[in-house]
Amino acid sequence: MSGLVKAWLAGGAMLALVASPALASERPFNLGKIATPEEVAGWDIDVRPDGLGAPVGMGNAIDGEEIYADRCAACHGDFGEAVDNWPVLVGGEGTLDSHDPVKTTGSYWPYASTMYDYIYRAMPFGEAQSLTYDETYQIVAFLLYMNDIIEDDFEVSHENIGTIEMPNRDGFFMPDPRPDAQPVASEPCMTNCDVPTNIIGRARDIDVTPEQES
Amino acid sequence: MAEDKNRNGTFSRRSLIGGAAALGSVGLSRVATGAEANPDNLPPNVSEWTPYLGAGVDANPYGMPSPYEEHVIRRNVEWLTASTESSVNFTPLHELEGFVTPNGLCFERHHGGVPEVIPTDYRLMINGLVDRELIFTLEELKRFPQTNRFYFLECAANGGMEWRGAQLNGCQFTFGMVHNVQYTGVLLKDLAREVGVKPDAKWILAEGGDSAGMNRSIPIEKIMDDCMIAWAMNGEALRPEQGYPARLVVPGWEGNMWVKWIRRLEFGDMPYMAREETSKYTDLMEDGNARMFTWVMDAKSVVTSPSPEKAILEKGVHQLKGLAWSGRGKITRVDVSLDGGRNWQTAELHGPVLDKCLTRFTLPFEWNGEELLVQSRAMDETGYVQPTIDALQAERGVNSIYHNNAIATWMVNKDGSVDNVRLG
């Protein structure tokens, strides 16, 4: 083998080494930049059910009443009863097994952490991430108090947001039991099937469809 | 309609929309059949558009549909929601052919309006249980190996108004929270290799950069299977209302998880229990308990014509048309009944039949002025059969809002008009 060929082979081998992800870098594509702790802290705003991610702060319902009236009540009502079509936030206990279930933070939401997470990231509607950490804890405390879950002087904080017990904590189940509602026979019926064909309702009669036909 | 032309030769949108509203869908369909044709434009006469030059190539740098198709639009149901910024509109499925949804007709669902994201300022952050927390620009995302796949996207609440009975008299309003486009993007498993996922990572939190900060937990098995970050739909950049410049694609799973304007992915060891996976998108059963994490969209189908917006206007031969889809795989068969489910015929499927993708079906039929009760029933490659509403209600009650994939019934009346009805 000539020296020239050896040099060429060696060069090729070196190129292969550089291109090999396992040897050159653990990053197969070497794209993107390392995020700084400050960058992550600014965007990593989620709060988990165990309290992970909850920022340092606290608030009680007494202070929360004022900020709630100022920032929330225009849509959700002074007592969480809601204005127009906006979500009801308070009440609804004992309605989930009725045909008029009222799903509120008190009657339905399984975790207090979700209240913090959602209010901070998305509320007030159209003014996302404008509340301070303490204001957010105050509003959470006010809603928990209105739903008879805590006392009005209880301080909700990063230390206990993951431990507050919500009334409907055990109202959810998984895993997904579907597929369900399947026919008994493996092959679906094709002829003379025994099914009801009486008309028991017409959308036309309910008359809530926009731009009705002429 | 010529009076409505602007100086530049285009039609006034307002006059056409007004015209469409006044005519109603049945009236427009009559126009389309030629019942109100101007004889001056018909053989043997020279049609009015023939002798003169038409618009030049600079008239419409971004092409739009014919002004005569301006009734083919997304529509919303005002009373459904408190504000249009946290609301939904519906795809006009009854006006579409094939299985691709045009970008401008893909239904919209957002929770804090459509943000105007500046692409040069767009960043995707990946943090949490990873070896390296990284931030990507849009251009960097596009340098990863790319994938192009057709997928349907269906809102879990599609048909949610119909649990207790026939409520909205339209194919668009009862089935239109679904669309089907080709996505171009990077597989999340490639991004996962780049950040180096730690062994104890079991979940991911996907988070949007919109005013709702939309966030959903997704199990890592799905992330590593077929999820993508997409930046294009049907060959062009995502539309703003579909997540421009980048969105999550979660094939076969409920649309709420396909986080738009995606800004962050966090790997973690447990679900985050965000508002949208606890207080919403959980399925309340009759006993007051709720199913959680019901992600897959089960097989479903709809007859798009005839339908409440597509009356039958003449006796004789017609082509029944519809769409079927399944979040569990490919559609294998669609049966159609014209007598409320007593007797069924198998429709023709029009390929390509793709995984987790809308599939077009047709069936020729003859109409002689009799009443029909039209239904379609989809089956997928897992053997799943689209259920009746009675079967779904027996299993789940009427409170669940989400995941109504029941067979619907369109009643063709003797005058050819069509109603959404409930049988029992």
- The string of pLDDT tens digits covering residues A67-97 is 999 999 999 999 999 999 999 999 999 999 9
The CA-based dihedral angle spanning residues B248, B252, B257, B263, taken in that order and rounded to the nearest 10 degrees: -10
What is the DSSP annotation of B120-148? GG-EEEEEESBSS-EEEEHHHHTTS--EE
Number of domains in chain B: 3
Q: Which residue among B77, B273, B289 sits closest to A173, beta carbon to beta carbon? A: B289
Q: Which among A44, A168, A178, A194 is the top mutation candidate for probing chain B, defined by the most B β-carbons within 10 Å of its own β-carbon?
A: A178
What domain range is B45 assigned to? 2-71
B221 contact partners, CB below 8 Å, separation of at least 6: none
- Is position A195 within any domain? no
What domain range is A6 assigned to? 1-32
Task: Select from B20, B48, B71 the last residue of a domain.
Answer: B71
- The string of pLDDT tens digits covering residues A24-58 is 358 999 999 999 999 999 999 999 999 999 999 99
- Is position B85 within any domain? no
Query: Do B217 and B333 reside in the same domain of the chain?
Result: no
Query: Do B311 and B286 reside in the same domain of the chain?
Result: no
Q: Which among B70, B135, B344 is the top mutation candidate for probing chain A, defined by the most A β-carbons within 10 Å of its own β-carbon?
A: B135
- Is position A163 within any domain? no
Query: Do A80 and A149 reside in the same domain of the chain?
Result: yes
Residue with tokens 């997704």: B218
The yes-or-no verdict on residue B22 having pLDDT over 80 is no
- Is position A139 within any domain? yes
Helix (H, G, I), strand (E, B) or coil at B365: strand
The yes-or-no verdict on residue B26 having pLDDT over 90 is no
Q: How many CB atoms lie within 10 A of CB B110?
A: 23
Query: Do B247 and B381 reside in the same domain of the chain?
Result: no
ipTM: 0.90
Confidence of residue B212 (pLDDT cuts 50, 70, 90): very high
Query: Do A51 and A149 reside in the same domain of the chain?
Result: yes
Query: Do B193 and B318 reside in the same domain of the chain?
Result: no
B333 phi and psi angles, rounded to 5 deg: -160, 145
The yes-or-no verdict on residue A15 having pLDDT over 60 is no
The yes-or-no verdict on residue A168 having pLDDT over 90 is yes
Q: What is the pLDDT of residue A26?
A: 83
What is the DSSP annotation of A76-134? H-TTS--STTSPP-S--TT-TTSSS----TTTT--BHHHHHHHHHHH-STTSTT-S-HH
Residue with tokens 């251009």: B139
Q: How many CB atoms lie within 10 A of CB A131?
A: 20
> Do B81 and A85 lie within an 8 Å CB cutoff?
yes
Beta-carbon pairs below 8 A across chains A and B: 279
Query: Do B337 and B284 reside in the same domain of the chain?
Result: no
- Is position A184 within any domain? no
The yes-or-no verdict on residue A12 having pLDDT over 70 is no
Task: Select from B291, B321, B355 the last residue of a domain.
Answer: B291
- Is position B97 within any domain? no
The yes-or-no verdict on residue B155 having pLDDT over 90 is yes
B392 touches A at CB < 8 Å: yes
Query: Do A1 and A54 reside in the same domain of the chain?
Result: no
Q: What is the pLDDT of residue A122?
A: 98
Number of domains in chain A: 2
B49 touches A at CB < 8 Å: no
- Is position B88 within any domain? no
Q: What is the pLDDT of residue B35?
A: 65
Query: Do B281 and B304 reside in the same domain of the chain?
Result: no
d(CA A89, CA A93): 11
> Do B266 and A46 lie within an 8 Å CB cutoff?
yes
Query: Do A117 and A148 reside in the same domain of the chain?
Result: yes
Q: Please, which residues 141-180 of chain B have a Cβ atom closer than 8 Å to chain A?
A: 141, 143-144, 165-170, 173
To the nearest whole Å, the CA of A79 is away from the closest chain B CA by 18
Task: Yes or no: say if A196 and B423 are a contact pair by the CB < 8 Å rule.
Answer: yes
Query: Do B142 and B267 reside in the same domain of the chain?
Result: yes
Query: Do A64 and A100 reside in the same domain of the chain?
Result: yes
d(CA B391, CA A185): 14
Q: Which residue among A176, A203, A214 sits closest to B169, beta carbon to beta carbon? A: A203
Query: Do B284 and B305 reside in the same domain of the chain?
Result: no
What is the arithmetic mean of pLDDT over A138-143? 98
Query: Do B48 and B125 reside in the same domain of the chain?
Result: no
| Count of residues in chain B | 424
- The string of pLDDT tens digits covering residues B76-102 is 999 999 899 899 999 999 999 999 999
